[in-house]
Structure 1
């Protein structure tokens, strides 16, 4: 039976790699990469560095083209379902063509595979079809959320209080009920700007050489964050940013 590892490699710092992840990389025969185009080459470069540092000399790399998807769809859930289906077809072709019986393959996933990543769902979809068989194991990694909190030297929660992880699209629909602390990912629309009295801890490219951090009351730093984000995206061709909002405007985690 072929085996696949889904390995969390952290938010961008090579030192985020856990010993468990390094050992799994060392057992891998084939690494699978979905190419997102030249503007994402820096994202692939970290994977190559980790393969070289911890992988076998005989390791192989199988690359496929990541399907494009509409970033502003009218039917969000339907668009994502279609994109995942097309992505699973590319992934299945890579596995069936390049991973031999009794070999081990790996996907090196940014952050943690269990948080806002589609690799697990895609592998499950392939297995449900029943045409390509394998077993897989998920190895956790340091998420961008954990890295953000560490860089700002804060706790995500305050004593005895819950927090919620959501998306910018959901925040734009309104502040989640029952929480005063919200971690937001995938926000290209500046949803934080609708909450000027909140306190924000923001970070982009956290853990990389291009890391940018900002914090402050939203009313005071929103314009700076928006300008900085736009300039960084223009410069790199892509951006990964995350932030924590505290509704009462307090920077304290206690």
Structure 2
């Protein structure tokens, strides 16, 4: 008789895209799993699934299984906070249906399953909330362990060679729709999930942007500089990248300086070479 009949589920943060961002804890966790659950996001994002596969080829211990399922469609056309919230809750509930089925039907009691989550599972990722909903349903019992990962926010700061905070000042992390509503305050602002290029609506000559797309991957694009100087260029790069790949995954930091801002001859730069004053 198996001394531990409960199912175990590992939620493993795998970093922003660079396979070298896997922590030792993540590598060890991958080696412990018997079954890996992968939700596909369509052919245009097959490169994300391929990267997960390469990680498993390198770090998973045979014999293991990979079980794929289709990620439920999400309505992204809803306007307003209430419509957006309702659409997210609907999508999460349908995703919980998928996880519930996978855990119940594909993970035997006493075995360990794993979900490989981009970035860090605790930052702007729905996996833990969805698994909590599955647990609340009470249809299948499992224990969850979370392995933190390198977030896209940490990777962005590292690639631009900056700190996320200035001395004695706070940092706010927000989705782009809240940036439109609330604007900038006394905090530096990290903006995520910006499909509508909210940075183009931010005014101020003293605002700098540190932007990155596909951070940590071979397709990485980085731009930094005074926001008025580089906003148009970032918009063009985003459009070109989306057309080329079929999708884009980007984030950025907006920083306001009280004094003069340095940098290149035109106040902007590609990559991590555009430097504002030390903080």
Give TM-score scaled by structure 2 length: 0.88
Shift of the alpha carbon at 1:62?
A: 1.0
Structure 2 residue aligned with 1:50, among 52, 55, 62? 55
Shift of the alpha carbon at 1:247?
A: 2.4
Structure 1 residue aligned with 2:88, among 54, 68, 80? 80
Q: Does 2:220 match 1:211?
A: yes
TM alignment of 1:57-68, pairs within 5 A: 57-68=62-73
Corresponding residue for residue 103 of structure 2: 95
Corresponding residue for residue 126 of structure 2: 118
Corresponding residue for residue 190 of structure 1: 197
Shift of the alpha carbon at 1:176?
A: 4.6
1:178 and 1:125 mapped to 2: Cα distance?
Answer: 36
Shift of the alpha carbon at 1:135?
A: 0.3
Shift of the alpha carbon at 1:218?
A: 1.0
Unpaired runs of at least 5, structure 1: none
Corresponding residue for residue 277 of structure 2: 252
Shift of the alpha carbon at 1:19?
A: 0.5
Unpaired runs of at least 5, structure 2: 1-5, 262-275
Shift of the alpha carbon at 1:252?
A: 2.7
Corresponding residue for residue 16 of structure 2: 11
Structure 1 residue aligned with 2:179, among 163, 171, 177? 171
Q: Deviations over 1:53-104 (max 9, x none)?
A: 0101211011111111111213010110000000000111111111001000
Corresponding residue for residue 247 of structure 2: 238
Q: Does 2:116 match 1:108?
A: yes
Shift of the alpha carbon at 1:175?
A: 1.6
Aligned residues of 1:63 and 1:94 also touching (Cα < 8 A): no
Structure 2 residue aligned with 1:227, among 224, 236, 239? 236
Runs of 4+ in 1 over 3 A off after TM superposition: none
Corresponding residue for residue 149 of structure 1: 157
Q: Does 2:167 match 1:159?
A: yes
Q: Does 2:140 match 1:132?
A: yes
Shift of the alpha carbon at 1:190?
A: 1.2
Shift of the alpha carbon at 1:195?
A: 1.9
2:231 and 2:184 mapped to 1: Cα distance?
Answer: 20
2:111 and 2:45 mapped to 1: Cα distance?
Answer: 28
Shift of the alpha carbon at 1:253?
A: 4.5
1:189 and 1:104 mapped to 2: Cα distance?
Answer: 40
CA RMSD, aligned part only? 1.1
2:244 is paired with a residue whose SS is helix
2:84 and 2:247 mapped to 1: Cα distance?
Answer: 21
Question: Between Structure 1 and Structure 2, whose CA radius of gyration is higher?
Answer: 2
Aligned residues of 2:169 and 2:186 also touching (Cα < 8 A): no
Q: 1:253 to 1:135 in 2, by over 3 A?
A: farther
Which moves more between the two structures, 8-17 or 195-204? 195-204
Give TM-score scaled by structure 1 length: 0.97
1:172 is paired with a residue whose SS is helix
